[in-house]
Structure 1
């Protein structure tokens, strides 16, 4: 005989569009009657709480017995993990062999994705505990959460949210740890680790409002690697992150999500058909074009960590769409076997103008460009190297050669001789793991673990449409690279409205007018475990300097914005940068759905209502979260 509790669980689940069995395992109201700490919230009854979230040592911080009861009710999935690099430090956990292994493998993204609290960009933790060469250095919990719920069911997520809300504890969400800005960390927090909410189910004919066709159900923690074989098996194309361990339903799809097919199929957020999520009141809801339409709009472009914890999504996929990719490289430093190396700086930047001139016709053809300008050194010569991969959907090799020929002829005219035979071409049907959204085996800047400071800007069609605007843009990027000393990463795509399958969403309207999403970044700006620790003021100085150079990009792109997943969440004008005219509507949804302030991430919707105490001007997560007023 089924228990009353289980019957209610099934009844609740039947009212939702569930995608996976573990979503049917839910918290029931009956369970909460004798345990107030996990009771559901009622938006209409929300009242202001303490000025700050509770931290260990506060009178209202749960004692050990309360944490034990919580863990017992969860079924034993509450963790209290120590920082991953603790074996490198003097003390009971010191292990030299393990430390050396961590040093060697620290750049492996999967290492951090599989750890309950570790992340790829360590600076937001306060560089609290990285693999140090000096065992007598200090390792602390820093900005890492104190407790973690290793969620494998919807019930775990619901209980974590209810406990945190009712006990006034900061909550954070970690998927795979790829966020640049520390949105997956929080000092003195309870973290919901969704990494093990895994699932991938293909639907040949998924029916939703205004849509009938291919789709895939995605578990809230499923990384890109879970979908490689699915694409091959079902002969389909889908948007995936460039990093194999990046979560598909996390900030990737909630914040935008680009791929090699973004110009013809839009961003991942444009193709989300249905969302299941646990909202701030602890309830699991379905959001689609007809149900909870406010959340459906907000989740698709409003950013991760703002409106709920996604347990699953259904995302449209497409007929297999092959790409032909052409690779071009030229440099001011000697490169063995490259006739296009050892250029003067002026010729190099004339070459960049030639490439910029090519971007509008390239995007209008449905293409995706993936390029870098990097500082390089060779044979005791320092300088710059430009690399680009130009991918065209449904083009043959011969058609790609003909399309790229005008760019090569122009480069040759200005002294960068790239001939047709030298052009590297590759045809892909996206069936291999290395041929996903990088594109065609390229590596994004987030695909290694370091302390990256990053900012981005969407350059619009108007920046590319005449010689004067191209020259202005070229000079701004040149100053950023040469004077600033930063590296540059550009992605050329134009996810225009005609490519969207779903109703309008919360993405910044500037995406529809963009020709290039450009990033500027500085790596290793913080402690690597060997060099002296950077002080708080030194870290802030690095950040402020980057923002000073980014302002030159903002000055020539009025009305544009930034891609939040690869941008600076601490920019003072983050509301305009990330959402533009959509921000006020997003804020209304946020206030209506989360009057308690359960969800907070730096640079998120409504984030200016809170601050990490003592870190107001440069937010690391090592501090107490308090109301800003």
Structure 2
């Protein structure tokens, strides 16, 4: 398919032209996806090197060619002439009088190069009410439901379907599932493979006042990449990755990677290993580094050594709400650059790629062990062991380590503490053994028998690959909150006891703990002037607290657990850490005062920039900056306010 516009050789609208033809300088032909020319022009880079698909952009000359065809719907793709906000108070929803006709959707499809996808829920082949019904396909989907790649490779599916409303799961996962509906999934998505498609989609959604969402892998705990009645931008295919052995940008000189928005953690770690360097990325394999990971700040096994993922960014390429494609860096659009590194996704624009710095290859040594309540180890002794570990939180993170641990019931139903693992970045086995020896002695003195296993690796990739198996997703039997507890909670004995009591209360009340002993290290060689939640700069822990229920729980039971977590367990956590915060990508969608919890003192500045860049209210996601200006109308019946994030969305 051609990728540039030559005169008026370009795609427009079989369904809006009675003759179902397009006119070009080469004659008149039938308008089909095969004869359509992508509505884009090649624009040379003026700053950071662009990927080839980033050079394919929507320009004013392209729009002029559309207008010259004198077809009414050309205006749907125009850039705004002013920065005035939308006068409409509600997003247009399916069934509304202003909802685009099928012909209008076909305009978008043709101009984006046949990239528009009408949503079919991933599990639709399991239901005879859908044309896609296929017993064999259903069996394959059901068998792979917990594989994150299944959901990441689908235009609209999410890895955590709770907030979609659980409206189309494979039969058998829940006893009551007998139907499949669209629920909270977007109505349409565009398989993004170039910048022009993003620009066309943003202009289309803005001019028609449609709800817009952005999905990369769908990893976010709260499913903020979905939205009923929305047009979704699926950026997962923007997965180019380029390594620069010696990259010079501003004051930085050293190795770097340019990453497309769809590049995942596993891709980056493997490329870093192949090129003899270390990259800063997440724990989970399918986290999109250039997507929601950097946007939320991005914690990492490397954080206690070099800081957050967002600290490593040198420059970014982004499409703004007005459809313009710009560079953001410390010297170009610096306010945008500040906001995009920590201020949350689906807010200021669509990031297409970024450049991150890399570090020399380092050794990693891990330690694993577990212990559990039993007939010979009491609950009080168990928690004394947890307290002993907490007293070393500052010592360990100051040495650059990262402790990943869980407190969950074991097969016997007793609470078990497990390191998965204790991670010693830039430490040899003897160095890590020396560091943890006092802690192990404290456990021994408490009568807690552990048998630590130490393993040394030459670099991050083999350590990460051995320590963090592929994540299991697709579950809907928990709702998580999180808290970033500051250093003083573990260096002050009184606060330490209060923190331990609050944690124990929640776990013994029915929650589980996914714990990280981590800090965002100060790094003079990284750009830490960004909007990462200030709580990260003071924290020694990121504690995730899921509340649990059975797969066949009623929605009333789900709501009860969710309310207990938000309004009881987390109340105590917040009380012992006043003014601290929470990690937005793994936080409670019902977090009270989310502005303070997820963004801290930066929220007013972020909100002001949101109003400046997006006066149209184009970008919306629950708990995102500016989301308080909207509410969900519930045009799709919601099984529970704690379950489905759906509806059109109206201004307050």
Deviation at 1:538, TM superposition (A): 4.4
Question: Paired residue for 1:84?
Answer: 122
Report the Cα distance in structure 1 between the residues aligned to 2:97 and 2:7, rounded to whole angstroms: 36
TM-score of the aligned structures, taking structure 2 as reference length: 0.88
Match of 2:581? 561
Instruction: Provide the C-alpha distance between the structure 2 equivalents of 1:110 and 1:586, rounded to a whole number of angstroms.
Output: 33
Checking the alignment, whether the CA contact within 8 Å between 1:37 and 1:162 is kept in structure 2 is yes
Kept after mapping to 2: 8 A contact 1:450/1:523: no
* Rounded Cα–Cα distance in structure 2 between residues aligned with 1:349 and 1:538: 29
- TM-score normalised per structure 1: 0.91
Corresponding residue of 1:22: 53
Residue 93 of structure 1 deviates from its aligned partner by: 3.3
SS in 2 for 1:57: coil
| Matching of residue 613 in structure 1 with residue 633 in structure 2 | yes
In 2, the alpha carbon distance for the partners of 1:158 and 1:433 equals: 40
Shift of 1:431: 5.7
1:238-387 aligned within 5 A: 238-333=279-374, 343-378=377-412, 382-387=413-418
How many matched pairs? 602
Displacement after TM superposition at 1:101 (Å): 2.5
- Alpha carbons of 1:71 and 1:316: their partners in 2 closer, same or farther (altered >3 Å)? same
How big is the shift at 1:95? Answer: 2.7
Deviation at 1:19, TM superposition (A): 3.0
8 Å CA contact retained: 1:88, 1:135: no
Q: Deviations over 1:150-191 (max 9, x none)?
A: 000011111111110011110000000111112100000000
Shift of the 99–524 alpha-carbon distance from structure 1 to 2, 3 Å rule, reads: farther
Between stretches 279-288 and 99-108, larger displacement belongs to 99-108
Partner of 1:196: 237
Distance 1:4 1:297 in 2: 40
Match of 1:172 in 2: 213
State the match for 1:626 in structure 2.
Answer: 650
**Contact 2:511/2:545 (<8 A) preserved:** yes
Q: Secondary structure at the match of 1:315?
A: strand
Encode CA deviations 1:416-461: one digit per residue, 9 max, x unaligned: 123xxx321111234646625xxx52359x6422124111111111
Select the residue among 618, 627, 631 that pairs with 1:598: 618
Pairing of 1:82-161 with structure 2 (within 5 A): 82-91=120-129, 92-133=131-172, 137-161=178-202
* Distance in 2 (alpha carbons) for counterparts of 1:250 and 1:74: 22
1:259 shift after superposition: 1.4
Q: Distance in 1 between matches of 2:265 and 2:53?
A: 20
1:65 aligns with 2:113: no
Q: Is the 8 A contact 1:151 1:157 kept in 2?
A: yes
Which sits farther off after the overlay, 17-26 or 453-462? 17-26
- Structure 2 residues not aligned, in runs of 5+: 10-38, 68-73
CA RMSD of aligned residues (A): 2.2
Q: Which of 506, 524, 527 is 1:480 aligned to?
A: 506
In the alignment, what sits opposite 1:337? Answer: none
Matched, 1:453 2:484: no
Match of 1:520 in 2: 545
Q: Deviations over 1:355-384 (max 9, x none)?
A: 111111101111111111012232xxx210
CA distance in 1, matches of 2:462, 2:217: 18
Quote the Cα distance in structure 2 between the aligned partners of 1:300 and 1:516: 21
Of stretches 192-201 and 392-401 in structure 1, the one that deviates more from structure 2 is 392-401
Secondary structure in structure 1 of the residue aligned to 2:111: helix
Match of residue 549 from structure 1: 569
Query: Counterparts of 1:394 and 1:93 in 2: how far apart (Å)?
Result: 51
Query: Which stretch has the larger CA shift, 222-231 or 353-362?
Result: 222-231
311-320 or 227-236, larger mean C-alpha shift: 227-236
CA distance in structure 1 between the aligned counterparts of 2:427 and 2:7, rounded to whole angstroms: 59
CA distance in 1, matches of 2:305, 2:524: 6
**SS of residue paired to 1:497:** coil
| Correspondence 1:393 to 2:422 | no
Higher alpha-carbon deviation: 105-114 or 82-91 = 82-91
Match of 2:453 among 424, 429, 449: 424
State the Cα distance separating 1:499 from its structure 2 match: 5.3
Shift of residue 327, structure 1, vs aligned partner: 1.3
Mapped to 2, the partners of 1:63 and 1:524 lie a distance apart of 42
Contact 2:303 2:521 in 1 (8 A): no
CA distance in 1, matches of 2:198, 2:386: 49
Paired residue secondary structure (1:286): strand
Q: Select the structure with the greater relative contact order (CA < 8 A; seq sep ≥ 6).
A: 1
Q: CA deviation at 1:222?
A: 1.1
Unaligned runs of 5+ in 1: 335-341
* Deviations 1:380-421, CA, capped at 9 Å, x for gaps: xx2101012222222221121111111111101111123xxx
In structure 2, the CA distance between the partners of 1:384 and 1:596, relative to structure 1 (3 Å rule), is same
Deviates more, 1:221-230 or 1:571-580: 221-230
In the alignment, which residue of structure 2 is the partner of 1:470? 496
1: CA distance, partners of 2:539 / 2:101: 52
Question: Comparing 133-142 with 212-221, which one deviates more in the overlay?
Answer: 133-142
Distance in 1 (alpha carbons) for counterparts of 2:500 and 2:269: 38
Secondary structure of the equivalent of 2:391? helix
CA 4–284 in structure 1, closer or farther in 2 if over 3 Å, else same? farther
Give CA deviations for 1:116-170 in whole Å, capped at 9, x if unaligned: 1111110111111011137971211010011111000011111111110011110
